[in-house]
Amino acid sequence: MAVPFKHLALATVAIGSLSAFADPALACNCGCALPGSSADMTSVSGASTLFSSEANFLYQTSLSFRDVTGSFNESGTWTPKPQGSSLNTLQANLGVTYYPGNEWTFGLMVPMAANILNGAQWAAQGAVVPIDTMEGQSEQQFGGGFGDITLQTSYIAYRGEDIWPSLALWGGLLMPTGNAAGEAAATFTGSGTFSGQIGLSALKLLGPVELSGGIGYQRPFSEPAADVSTAFYVGQSLLGQFQANWEFAPSWRAGLGASSFYGEMAARDTSPTASKLGKIKLTPSIEWRFLEGQGVRLAYGADPSPGPWVNSMTDQNLIFSYYRFM
Amino acid sequence: MRHRLAPRGLAALALSSTLLLGACFLQAPNQSGVSDGIAQLSHARTIAVGEGPHGITYAGGMIVNSNPKSGDISIIDPATDAVAKTLTFDGGKESNSPTQAQATKDGKYAVTMDSKANLLRVIKGETQAVVGTVALGKKPGSKIVWANETTAYLALGEVATNNVLKISWADGFESPATVEQLTVARDGASTFVAGFMAVGGGYLAVPNANDNAVSYVKIGESTVSTLQEGNAPGPIGISTLNGSALLVYGNKSSNTVVVYDLNAKQLLGKLTVGSTPTDLAIRSDGRYAYVTCAGAGEIAIVDLGTATLHSKVTVGRATSTPSKPVHLYMVDKPAAAAGFRVAHEGHEHEAGPQQVWVGGDGDGSVTVIDAETQQAIAVIAVGNGHHKMAFTPTKAYVSNITDNTVSVIDRSVIK
C-alpha cells in the first residue's frame, strides 16, 4: 500500500538539520568529535520538522558510519588521510521532538559514538596525523560514549501562502557532555564547549517537490576546560543548509541536501590571527514511508572537493534512520 | 679484563669489523615496488638492548642508546657490536626514562635526556660512565641544539615561560653546567608544547603546536617575535644559505613547509607537501631542506635558494605496509669520514657530500638518499617500530623501539 507524503511526513524526512550538519563544533576543533553531517537526519531541528503540527511527538533514531577521508588545511588544500590509516566512527542518535501546539517545538537529541582509530589520530584544525608509536600508543584504539547533547526550540513565525514559504525561528544549546579530554583519542566524542545557535528556516512545497533551507549563527559561550585535549575550539560561525526532496513514486522520495558552515577557529589563548574554518557536505538520500507516520531513510554524505573550504576534516557517511510521528 | 684500544687500534678494529660485516651483508629479497637502481639490503646484525630503545648516538667511540621503558642506557661497542655496559639508575624504570641521546660537538660525550627524572646525563663514551647531570625542573623537549662547542639550548615541554634553557659547560663536560632560563614564547600564551627547536644565523626559534605560532629571538636579545603561518608547527631548522637566516619549518596539521627570512622578516614560501611533516634536516651548504612526510611515505626536498619544492622522494620497502618515515638524518658520506658529522634538526655543518638517512617506522626500513642527486640509493630492512639512528664513519646503528633491538648497517656498501 502506498503511503502518501503529507506535510507531516515530509517534515520528518526533511533531513539536514542546521544543528546536526552544520555543527562545526562537532566537525572540527580537534577533529575528533561526532560527524556533524547533514546526512544525520535525526536532529530535532530539521528545517521542515519545525513546521509539523499533526502529532504530539516525533521520535527519530539513526545509525551512521563515518569514514574520514582527509582534511583541508588553512589554505584550502586537501590532503588525504595518512597512508595505512583509518579513522571510523559508528554513531547512534536518539531524538525526540515535542509539539505542544501549532507554533512551538521543543527537542532533545542525544548522540552516542564509538571511534575506531587505526594507525592515526585526530589533530588540531580537523587534520589527521599518523599515530606516534614512539610514545607507546597502540596502533589501534577503540573508545566512545555520549556526545554533546543538543536542546532546541522553534517558533513558526509565518505559515506560507501562495508563493511564499513558511518561516520558523529556532534556537539551540549544545552542551559539552561528550568527552574531549585526556590522552585516549578514541574516546573523544565532544567539543568541550557550550555553544548557542539561532537561525531562520523556511519550507516550500511545490507539488511532489519539497524545498527547505535555512541559515543560522553559532557562537561558543565558554572556553574549553584546561584538561581538554586541544587549545582550539570553534568560534563564531555561520551555518547554511538546503534540502530538496522529490516524491518520484508513491511512498518513495529521493533527496539531495547541501549543508555548510563557515566561521573562525578560536584558541584558548588569544591568537595573533584568527584561523578560518568551513566546508560543505552534499547528501543524496532515498526514503521509504512504509506506514502512516513512519518511514526509513538511507543517505550518503560526502565533502566535494575542490572548494573554498578550510581547516576541516573530510569524511564520507552512510546513514540509516527511522522516524515515527505519534 | 677489558683492554682499552688506542685510536689507531680502534680504527683497525672498525675496518676489520666493516669487512666482516660487508662479507655477511645480506641482499634483501627484491621488493617489486622499489625502483630499479635502488639497492635493497638487509641490516648486518641485530643487538639486543633494553626495553623501548629510542635515542641513540655515537660518542667517545661508543654507541650510547637510551631505553625509556626499562629506564636504562645501553653502551654498545662498535668494535664488537655487542652491549659493553648497561647503565642503570636509582629507582629503576619507575623513576627514570632516558629518551633521547645526542653527542657533544667534540664527539666525546653523549648527553641523554630523561623525561621522568627531568634531567640531563652526560656520559663519557670512553669510560662508559655518567660524568655529570643537569637538573631541568621540567620535562625536556626532544632535542638539544648546540650553539657552540660547550653551549647548548634545550626546549622544555608544556610551559610557556622559561621554556628554553641555555646550558653551558664552560669548564668542560665533567664539571657542573650553568643553566640560564629563557622565555621564547608569544606573550600571553599559557601553554607551550615544544619538542623542537632551531639555532642558526644568530637566531633561536621554537615552534608551538598549541599556538600555531613559531616564536624566535635574536640570540642575546630578549625581544620575542612571532610568526604564524600554518597549523601545528613542528620540525624546524635554520639555514644560513649565502649568509642569510632562513627559518624552515613544517606544519603537521597543514601539511605545509614554511620558508621565512628572519632578517628581512619576509615570508618566502609556504609549500604544500605530503601528509604530516615530522622531521627536518638541512644540507650542510644550506641549500636544501629535507622533510619527512610521515603520512605520505615520502621526503619533500625544499630548495631554500628559491623557496620552492624541488622534488619528493618515495621511501621505504614498497610493501603493502606504509613506510611512515618519522625521522631523518643528514650524514656525511663514508668517503668524507675524516670530517664526519651528523646533523639532525638545527645543527650547523660544514659543506661536504652527504646522505639523508630516513627511518621507516611503519615497514621497518631505512632509506638512504644521495643529497647531491636527490635520489634514493638504498633501502635497508631493519627491525620494527620507531627508529632513531647513530653513525660511525663506517656503520649505522638503528634503534628498533618495538623489537628492543638495535640494527647494525654497514655504510661502506651504500655508494
Closest CA to A68 of A38, A34, A42: A34
Q: Does B231 sit within 8 Å of A73, measured CB to CB?
A: yes
Q: Which residues pair with A266 in a beta bridge?
A: A233
Q: How far apart are CA B229 and CA B259, in angstroms?
A: 10
**Helix, strand, or coil (residue B211):** coil
Residue contact B270–A75, C-beta within 8 A: yes
Instruction: Please judge whether B211 and A82 are an interchain contact, meaning their C-beta atoms are less than 8 angstroms apart.
Output: no
Mean of all residue pLDDT scores within chain B: 87
- State which residue of chain A sits closest to B211, comparing Cα positions: A271
- The secondary structure of A256-297 as a DSSP string is EEEEEEEEEEEESSPPSSPEEEEEEEEEEEEEEEEETTEEEE
- B69 pLDDT above the threshold of 80: yes
Mutant choice from A133, A233, A268 vs B, greatest count of B C-beta within 10 A: A133
With beta carbons under 8 A apart, name residues in chain A contacting B189. Answer: 269
pLDDT, position B2: 37
Show the cell assigned to B281: 634536516
Instruction: State the pLDDT confidence band at A19, using cuts at 50, 70 and 90.
Output: very low
φ/ψ of A133, rounded to 5, equals -70, -15
Distances (CA, A) of A138 to A124, B292, B365, B384, B401: 20, 22, 20, 14, 13
A233: alpha, beta or left? (left if phi > 0; alpha if psi -120 to 50): beta
Give pLDDT, residue B159: 77
Residue in A92, A90, A187, A81 with CA at minimum distance from that of residue A128: A81
Chain B: give the shortest CA distance to residue A143, in Å. Answer: 23
pLDDT digit string, tens, across residues A130-169: 665 555 556 788 888 998 898 989 899 998 888 999 999 9
Minimum Cα–Cα distance from A229: chain B residue: B210
* Closest alpha carbon to B398 in B59, B22, B76: B76
Q: Tell me, what amino acid is at A216?
A: G
Beta-carbon separation of A129 and B294 below 8 A:
yes
Average pLDDT over residues B346-372: 83
Picking from B54, B230, B231, the nearest residue to A134 by CB comes out as B54
Neighbours of B137 (CB within 10 A): 12
Mean per-residue pLDDT, B55-59: 96
Does B234 reach chain A within 8 Å, measured CB to CB? no
Tens digit of pLDDT for each residue in A89-132?
A: 899 989 888 988 888 889 898 989 898 888 777 766 666 666 65
Name the DSSP letter for residue A67. Answer: E
CB spacing of B213 vs A79 below 8 angstroms:
no
Query: Which residue's C-alpha cell is 505519534?
Result: A326
Per-residue confidence at B360, pLDDT binned at 50, 70, 90?
very high
> Whole-angstrom Cα distance, residue A202 to residue A153?
15
- The reported pLDDT for the residue numbered A133 is 55
In this structure, how many other beta carbons lie within 10 angstroms of the beta carbon of residue A108?
Answer: 14
Pick from A52-56, A222-226, B105-109, B161-165 the range whose average pLDDT is largest: B105-109
C-beta atoms surrounding B161 within 10 Å? 13
Cα B119 to Cα B137: distance, rounded to the nearest angstrom: 7
| Euclidean distance between CA atoms A164 and B19, whole angstroms | 88
Per-residue model confidence as pLDDT tens digits over B157-187: 777 788 899 999 999 999 999 999 999 988 7
* Tens-place pLDDT, residues B77-130: 999 999 999 999 999 999 999 999 999 999 999 999 999 999 999 999 999 999
Nearest to B386 among A125, A133, A270 (CB): A133
- 3-class state of residue A46 by DSSP: strand
CB B133 within 8 A of CB B121: yes
Q: Which three cell numbers stand for residue A139?
A: 596502533
Q: Which helix (H) or strand (E) segment is A7 a member of?
A: helix A7-12
Contact (CB<8Å) B275/A269: no
Confidence band, pLDDT 50/70/90 cuts, at residue B373: very high
Contacts of B254 in chain A (CB under 8 A): 73-75, 77, 125, 127
Mean pLDDT for the stretch of residues A217-239: 81
CB atoms within 10 A of CB B172: 12
Read off the C-alpha cell for A280: 560543505
A94, containing H or E segment:
strand A86-98
pLDDT score, position B347: 46
Could you tell me the end-to-end alpha-carbon distance of chain B, in angstroms, rounded to an integer? 38
Chain B interface mutation, best of A69, A79, A121, highest count of B Cβ atoms under 10 Å = A79
**Interchain contact, A134 vs B401, CB within 8 Å:** yes
Share of chain A above pLDDT 90, in %: 21
Q: Would the CB atoms of A268 and B191 count as touching at under 8 Å?
A: yes
Rounded-to-integer distance, Cα B62 and Cα B34, Å: 34
B401-405: which pairs have CB atoms within 8 A and are 24 or more residues apart? B401/A133, B401/A134, B401/B52, B401/B53, B401/B54, B402/A133, B403/B46, B404/B48, B404/B49, B404/B50, B404/B51, B404/B52, B404/B53, B404/B67, B405/B46, B405/B47, B405/B48, B405/B49, B405/B53
- Region of residue B262 (phi > 0: left; psi between -120 and 50: alpha; otherwise: beta): alpha
Q: How confident is the model at residue A229 (pLDDT cuts 50, 70, 90)?
A: low
Write out chain B residues lying below 8 Å of A267, CB-based: 211-212
Is residue B136 within 8 Å of residue B111, measured between CB atoms?
no
What mean pLDDT is predicted for residues B236-248? 96
Contact A97, A44 (CB under 8 A): yes
Provide the pLDDT confidence category of residue A180 given band limits of 50, 70 and 90: confident
Residue of B nearest to A84 (CA): B322
First to last CA, chain A: 20
- Among residues B300, B344, B293, the alpha carbon closest in space to that of B322 is found at B293
Residue/partner pairs of B338-343 with CB below 8 Å, 24 or more apart: B340/B391, B340/B393, B341/B284, B342/B58, B342/B103, B342/B390, B342/B391, B343/B281, B343/B282, B343/B284
The size of chain A, in residues, is: 326
Closest chain B CA to residue A226: B191
Grade residue A186 by pLDDT with cuts at 50, 70 and 90.
confident
∠ CA B23-B26-B29 to the nearest 5 degrees?
Answer: 155
pLDDT range class, residue A32, cuts 50, 70, 90: very low
With an 8 Å Cβ cutoff, are B186 and A272 in contact? yes
Q: How many CB atoms lie within 10 A of CB B179?
A: 15
Q: Which among A85, A127, A268 is the nearest to B253, CB-wise?
A: A127
| Residues A127, B231 contacting (CB under 8 angstroms) | yes
User: A238 to chain B, minimum CA–CA distance in Å?
Assistant: 22
B230: left (phi over 0), alpha (psi -120 to 50) or beta: left
* Residues A147, A32 contacting (CB under 8 angstroms): no
State yes or no: pLDDT of A21 exceeds 70: no
For residue B256, what is the nearest residue in chain A, using CA coordinates?
A73
User: Is the Cβ pair A128, B252 closer than 8 Å?
Assistant: no
Closest Cα in chain B to A124: B253
Residues of A in contact with B300 (CB under 8 A): none
Q: Give the model's pLDDT for residue A49.
A: 63
